[in-house]
Structure 1
Amino acid sequence: MNPGCDLPLPLGEGWGEGPRGTQVLLWLALWTLSACAPTSPTPSPFIRTDTVVSGTEAPDDAAVVALLARRARCTGEPLTLLCTGSLIAPDVVLTAAHCLEIFGTDGAYEVFLGTKLLPEPEPGGRFVRVASAVRHPGYERTSHAYDAALLRLAKPVNESPLPLPELGKAPLEPGQSARVVGFGDTKDASAPAGQRRQGTLVLTQVEASGFRADPAPSMSCVGDSGGPVLVRGAEGGEVLVGVTASGDVACREEAFNVRVDVLLEDFIQPFLAGQLEPRGPELPLESLCTATCTSDAQCPAGLACETVAEGGAARCLQPALQEGNYGALCSEDAQCGAGSVCARLEPEGEDACRCFTPCVPAPLPEEASGCTGAPGASPWVWVLGAWRLLVRRGRTLSRRGGAGACAGRRGG
């Protein structure tokens, strides 16, 4: 587990130097171009393959979920673990704000409910799409103040949410033991990959909006950002008192956690009282290249109404893809016609995957830089979609704080 450096990217000393869009685009381009390779599965360098320092398995913590980048393809796409989160309502997850740094609050995410995500999800594990996300308005990247975000799931789940503390009455005292749970790094190469684990911390300092903790003997680490810190309440049961936010790079000395009780009145409770925008008459999946939209409610489930080009018409699409129509149900690219691929509208389900055909035809094979052997649409279709996603975001990413905290302190 590690609060902060839960990026799925192999960051080096050059990360954060130069335009953020160029570096993220390069990563996305390299990832999407992997479609040119043989279809047999190979290990991805972007997947974290380890999980909590000096921790143990946590099979009973069903309300602790993994936050992933949403998958756009139905076959051959690796799982990309971003962070951990806590279910605090049947359709709401609490996580860290810096977990949304790369793709932003309007990015494409999903959560995994289960004990083991990597290298393969356990049988019985479940994926659910994130419909909307919001960061705390007071979030500061460098200090991790109010490093909290809320995710609204596209559909409620059956697991029992974690109990929240009373407003301003979180049972926090120096010397107190706390339990931390997450899917992050164990610093042990022999530990299972991407597995939900738990460990014990001891509180050392309680501040106005957060608290610090030392290992006792465990420590949160990479991939645990946004995960829960739990203590025993007055009635004996555990209470969610903290969100894993930051710590030392080695995951050995100290962790900083955001206090949940100070988030309740102005952030968590108003969000819990809200709901998803009611859906209206949906545009047909097969006519999205010509049909325009004015709100997400008009778009089929899994798509959002977005304007790609300045001054252009808004259309229903996946944030990581260009405009296109969706046709017949599929399970692999080979079932779709030339120029089409099997795209994922929902994380799972019998009708989750459909043949996607971009509105703008892909380049001819000889123009696709050696990707002539890949079935379906040229991978440059996905590069174009990634570029458009970055253009719509228009943000920068610093080396310090948030997702860039790997250079100094862990950011989650």
Structure 2
Amino acid sequence: MNTFTRALTATLVSSLALTAVAAVGPPVAHAMDRSVIGGDAARTADHPWVVAVGSRQLFGSARSGQFCGAAVVSARTVVTAAHCFDRQILGADPDRVRDFRVIAGRDDLRGEQGREVAVSDIWVNPRYDRRTNAGDLAVLTLAKPLPGAAVPLAGAGDAAYGAGQSASVYGWGDTGGDGSYASSLHSSRVRVLKDRECATAYPGGAAAGRFRAETMVCAGLPEGGRDACQGDSGGPLVAGGKLIGLVSWGSGCGVAGQPGVYTRISALEKEITGRMRD
């Protein structure tokens, strides 16, 4: 299967760190830091519910330990992708990691602005299927609140899920599909696609994953060029001012006919609201 989740793995971070050490001269911001796959720079001041999930213990300090994105849905509740906490991604049992943090208000992960809030509890959807990525949701409870930063959830039947709706995806991940990881927040404007388009793109089988409309929604452009990528996992997909999805998986990044696949928030709304802590 040539599809993949979009988390930044500990192994890859180690490889990037070795490359950085070999570089000569002072660090220079890569030009691609100003854009995602077909996107633009964004500010957390404008989108305070966009946060990063980090662990310096596992991923180092160069980018605040970021390995996934997430969205604040209540003062002490953050949602992200379940696969972000797989041992395969972390390279360790998550129960043994003591420094998981949610990073808020930090546009540039190399800086110190904003806040880092400890994660006091991690709930991974027990119905998450690692083989298919169905139900790809984790809910994080924060040790301290982030007041005034929540994004509303789009429930079942919300117009925000309508085919053709303009949506934006946010993250700090790969900006070119080639390992050019951003240090500053970026966003890409895409469109919500019809379920049948997504099912055609991902019919299952040996060459592609299978799209499941009951727990997934997909977004992109028919011609490609705009998408989330590795390192963006768990980041928010927002349409009409509401959270409709979380970055989950896809085939390539920004490839025509291969849109990004997201966890459908409405399918797991009860699981999220039942764990909200304020």
Per the normalisation by structure 1, the TM-score is 0.50
Whether the 8 Å contact between 2:219 and 2:261 is mirrored in structure 1 is: yes
Q: Which residue of the partner structure matches residue 201 of structure 1?
A: 190
Letter of the structure 1 residue corresponding to residue 274 of structure 2: P
SS of residue in 2 equivalent to 1:263: helix
Q: In the aligned structure 2, how far is the partner of 1:44 from the partner of 1:100?
A: 30
The answer to whether residue 154 in structure 2 is matched with residue 165 in structure 1 is yes
SS of residue in 2 equivalent to 1:264: helix
C-alpha displacement at 1:211, in angstroms? 1.2
The answer to whether residue 274 in structure 2 is matched with residue 248 in structure 1 is no
The answer to whether residue 239 in structure 2 is matched with residue 231 in structure 1 is yes
Letter of the structure 1 residue corresponding to residue 247 of structure 2: T
The answer to whether residue 166 in structure 2 is matched with residue 177 in structure 1 is yes
Q: Which residue of the partner structure matches residue 207 of structure 2?
A: none
1:25-66 per-residue CA deviation (whole Å, 9 max, x = no partner) reads xx7xxx9xx9xxxxxxx7499xxx875211111111121011
SS of residue in 2 equivalent to 1:129: strand
Partner of residue 81 from structure 1, selected from 60, 66, 69: 66
> CA 1:89–1:176 in structure 2 vs 1: closer, same or farther (change >3 Å)?
same
SS of residue in 2 equivalent to 1:9: helix
Q: Which residue of the partner structure matches residue 48 of structure 2?
A: 62
Q: In the aligned structure 1, how far is the partner of 2:152 from the partner of 2:124?
A: 21
* Superposition pairs of residues 371-410 of structure 1, within 5 angstroms: none
C-alpha displacement at 1:174, in angstroms? 2.3
Q: In the aligned structure 1, how far is the partner of 2:93 from the partner of 2:274?
A: 21
Structure showing greater Rg: 1
Whether the 8 Å contact between 2:169 and 2:235 is mirrored in structure 1 is: yes
> CA 1:116–1:151 in structure 2 vs 1: closer, same or farther (change >3 Å)?
same
**What root-mean-square deviation, in Å, do the aligned CA atoms of Structure 1 and Structure 2 show?**
3.1
SS of residue in 2 equivalent to 1:256: strand
Give the number of aligned pairs. Answer: 232
> CA 1:77–1:204 in structure 2 vs 1: closer, same or farther (change >3 Å)?
closer
Q: Which residue of the partner structure matches residue 9 of structure 1?
A: 11
Q: In the aligned structure 1, how far is the partner of 2:187 from the partner of 2:168?
A: 7
> CA 1:10–1:217 in structure 2 vs 1: closer, same or farther (change >3 Å)?
closer
Q: In the aligned structure 2, how far is the partner of 1:248 from the partner of 1:174?
A: 21
C-alpha displacement at 1:3, in angstroms? 5.2
1:344-400 per-residue CA deviation (whole Å, 9 max, x = no partner) reads xxxxxxxxxxxxxxxxxxxxxxxxxxxxxxxxxxxxxxxxxxxxxxxxxxxxxxxxx
Identical positions, percent: 27
SS of residue in 2 equivalent to 1:163: coil
Q: Which residue of the partner structure matches residue 116 of structure 2?
A: 127
C-alpha displacement at 1:92, in angstroms? 1.0
Q: In the aligned structure 2, how far is the partner of 1:157 from the partner of 1:239?
A: 18
Q: In the aligned structure 2, how far is the partner of 1:203 from the partner of 1:270?
A: 27
Whether the 8 Å contact between 1:91 and 1:154 is mirrored in structure 2 is: yes
SS of residue in 2 equivalent to 1:171: helix
Q: Which residue of the partner structure matches residue 261 of structure 1?
A: 266
Q: In the aligned structure 2, how far is the partner of 1:269 from the partner of 1:170?
A: 20
Q: In the aligned structure 2, how far is the partner of 1:43 from the partner of 1:113?
A: 28
SS of residue in 1 equivalent to 2:12: coil
Q: Which residue of the partner structure matches residue 214 of structure 1?
A: 220
Whether the 8 Å contact between 2:164 and 2:191 is mirrored in structure 1 is: yes
> CA 1:105–1:164 in structure 2 vs 1: closer, same or farther (change >3 Å)?
farther
Q: In the aligned structure 1, how far is the partner of 2:161 from the partner of 2:253?
A: 25
> CA 1:130–1:217 in structure 2 vs 1: closer, same or farther (change >3 Å)?
same
Q: In the aligned structure 2, how far is the partner of 1:55 from the partner of 1:184?
A: 12
Q: In the aligned structure 2, how far is the partner of 1:211 from the partner of 1:164?
A: 14
> CA 1:44–1:7 in structure 2 vs 1: closer, same or farther (change >3 Å)?
farther
Q: In the aligned structure 2, how far is the partner of 1:134 from the partner of 1:177?
A: 30
C-alpha displacement at 1:168, in angstroms? 5.1
* Superposition pairs of residues 15-26 of structure 1, within 5 angstroms: none
Per the normalisation by structure 2, the TM-score is 0.73
SS of residue in 1 equivalent to 2:274: helix
Q: Which residue of the partner structure matches residue 205 of structure 2?
A: none
Q: Which residue of the partner structure matches residue 103 of structure 2?
A: 112
Whether the 8 Å contact between 1:3 and 1:220 is mirrored in structure 2 is: no
* Superposition pairs of residues 130-141 of structure 1, within 5 angstroms: 130-141=119-130
